Amino acid sequence: MKPLHRILVYIYYLKRKYLNNRQFMMALSVVIGFLSGLAAVIIKNAVHLIKYLLVAGLNVKSNQFLYFFYPIIGIIITVLFIKFILRQYVGDGVPSVLYAISKTKGILKKHNMFSSVVSSSFTVGFGGSVGLEGPALTSYFFLGMDVLYPLEITEKFKMQDIGLYILLGVATGLASLYFTKIYMYFQTFFSGIKKWYARLLIGGSLLGILIYFFPSLYGEGYEATNSCLHGSTITLFNDTLFYSFKDNISMVFVLLVVIILMKVIATSLTFGAGGIGGIFAPTLFTGAHVGLLFAIFVNYIGYGPISTTNFALVGMAGLIAGVIHAPLTAIFLIAEISQGYELFMPLMITAVVSFITIRFFEPNSVYTIQLAKRGELMTHHHDKNVLAMLDFRKLVETNFNTVHVEASLGNLVEVIENSNRNIFPVVDDDGIFHGHVILDNVRHKMFKPEIYNTTTVGDLMITPKFTVTHKDTIEEIAQKFKESGKYNLPVIENGKYMGYISKANLFGAYRDKLREVSEH
């Protein structure tokens, strides 16, 4: 017996003898909490160590070109680790967990307990413009927000600023929409590039160029975020070609806008090139810069003065509420960061307005939009959840006898004699699906031997209007059955015949899954 299996057996024995289910769950929570803290320490210190060795140890400030090469090197190491050492797919943090909940009963592959930690450490440590929260979640870990410096609110909320916080909510909502759309665009773009080294070359090179010109995009960006929270714009200019313009207010506006627009692009390029990380930190980064830009602009036009710190903090809440669709998380998280609830009212106003704004354009968060498109998202809609749990592959039936498109009626009769199905897919030599023959449609011709050699299958087959592919969601397949009125739909992949899905099989599986869910 393997050591791990022996330990699990012993734990199960202790559970059966001494603990009820509630006590056992509490004990597991303690263990997971300990491992969470341990993992947070490991991943955070690994990133800081790598960054220190690269940035401080090699004096990158006097070698500006290193900002171009470091992110590429980090992503290369990450890709090689995944492709040649791990040899398994490492998914995005939160979407992977959500997919596991809906499709694999919450079970993740064992390598997720360490693979995301290792790969994201190299990605972020070398300057990939992503965060660590996603990988920490994939590893069953929660990374606390103590990486942000403690911040004390010195300026209290003023009632006359309510209108400004509403406007900030609209601004962060629109910024969230931009963040989501750009992120999804680059995901689609890179998914169309089949060669991994091509993705690495394109994404890595573009990322290196961005970080070379705008070093504040390097890594998680918490230094730049904290600078925003203290009302400073100096990190926008540090180590850049624009340092001499640091006191030029027009240049401050331009760089803030550029950084806000470029952050999500840098994050998307990091993922597209093969890097591993999360988008929570980029969301905080963008929100802080949006809030700071808003406050500086209001003060500049003479409407203020208003607190740059307060608006940068509230801007972070607005982006979290908009991008992740989590307004309550945004409110309480930022309230904790500010070490108090002085900003609770503006946090609620901005987070809610931001959430409403983006929901008007995009009903799904950046985490769930792809799952929703594939019909794999668990929602509050019970029927849709059950459909999302069904496995497409288990619904496909393959015990149908195929017939060649150029076969004669006589050949078809021989196939029918050896089959217990009433539908016969028609294919060519390459397995390309041309249509199918339904037994009831040819029954009257089967008893006319004189036309066996003069009638071909091509003359008898019909081409179905509705077909199914693996890209269709179960909900879409059910809709196709409803629209077509058919009992069987052919499954086609790249034009080739793969099998059939029957209405009876689909709804039988639905009933079984519904019963299973109801019992739990």
pLDDT, tens only, 300-322: 998 878 888 889 999 999 999 99
pLDDT of res. 202: 94
Count Cβ atoms within 10 A of the Cβ of residue 209 and give its class: 0-12 exposed, 13-18 middle, 19 or more buried.
middle
Instruction: Judge if 185 and 319 occupy the same domain.
Output: yes
Residue 520 CB neighbour total at 10 angstroms: 4
SS3 assignment, position 449: helix
Q: In the prediction, which pLDDT does 519 show?
A: 53
pLDDT-derived band at 139, boundaries 50, 70, 90: very low
Q: How many domains does the chain have?
A: 3
CATH code where residue 432 lies: 3.10.580.10
The mean pLDDT value of the chain amounts to: 81
Higher pLDDT, 344 or 113: 344
pLDDT at 56: 66
Task: Output the domain CATH number for residue 331.
Answer: 1.10.3080.10
Query: Nearest 10 degrees: CA dihedral of 102, 107, 112, 117?
Result: 70
Residue 152 lies inside a defined structural domain of this protein: no
Tell whether 244 is covered by a domain.
Answer: yes
The two tokens of residue 96 are: 């992977």
More confident of the two residues 365 and 210: 210
pLDDT recorded at residue 137: 43
Cis ω before 71 (30° cut-off from 0): no
Higher pLDDT, 6 or 213: 213
Residues 42 and 107 in one domain: yes
Q: Do 359 and 388 belong together in one domain?
A: no
Average pLDDT over residues 88-99: 62
Residue 508 resides in a domain: yes
pLDDT per position as a tens digit, 399-423 = 899 999 888 888 888 888 888 888 9
**Residue 107 confidence class, pLDDT cut points 50, 70, 90:** low
Kindly state whether residue 153 falls inside one of the protein's structural domains: no
Of 125, 146, 167, the residue at which a domain comes to its end is: 146
Phi, psi (degrees; rounded to nearest 5) at 234: -65, -30
Verify that 242 and 348 share a domain, yes or no: yes
Of 450 and 489, more confident: 489
Outline where 52-142 has alpha helix (H).
66-80, 93-103, 115-125, 133-138
Report the half-sphere exposure of 366 (CA within 13 A, side-chain side).
32
Rounded Cα distance between 408 and 452, Å, is: 6
* Residue 431: pLDDT over 60: yes
Contact 331, 322 (CB under 8 A): no
Q: Can you read off the two tokens belonging to residue 301?
A: 């036009």
The share of the chain scoring above pLDDT 70, in percent, equals 82
Confidence of residue 251 (pLDDT cuts 50, 70, 90): very high
Domain boundary among 102, 120, 146: 146
- pLDDT > 50? residue 488: yes
Do both 239 and 366 map to the same domain? yes
Q: How confident is the model at residue 90 (pLDDT cuts 50, 70, 90)?
A: low
Mean pLDDT value of segment 323-344: 81
Taking 70 as the threshold, does the pLDDT of residue 133 lie above it?
no
Structural domain harbouring 365: 159-373
As a whole number, mean pLDDT of residues 58-69 equals 71
Q: In the prediction, which pLDDT does 385 show? A: 61
pLDDT band at 145; cut points 50, 70, 90: very low
Q: State which of 373, 404, 434 marks the end of a domain.
A: 373
Instruction: Note the pLDDT of residue 384.
Output: 62
Clarify whether residues 168 and 195 are in a common domain: yes
Q: List beta partners, residue 492.
A: 497
pLDDT tens-digit map of 225-236: 888 888 888 888
Tell me the pTM. Answer: 0.72
The confidence band for 243, taking pLDDT boundaries of 50, 70 and 90, is: confident
Look at 228 and 142; give whichever has higher pLDDT: 228
If asked whether residues 319 and 426 sit together in one domain, one would say no
Give the pLDDT band (50/70/90) at residue 113.
low
Write the single-letter amino acid at 510: Y
396 bridge partner residues:
none
In contact, 355 and 177? CB cutoff 8 Å: no
Residue 383, token pair as written in the block: 């029927």
Q: Which residue has the higher pLDDT, 310 or 342?
A: 310
| Most confidently modeled range among 51-55, 381-385, 431-435 | 431-435
Residues 388 and 317 in one domain: no
pLDDT band at residue 147 under the 50/70/90 scheme = very low
How distant is the alpha carbon of residue 105 from its chain centre? 18
CB atoms within 10 A of CB 160: 7
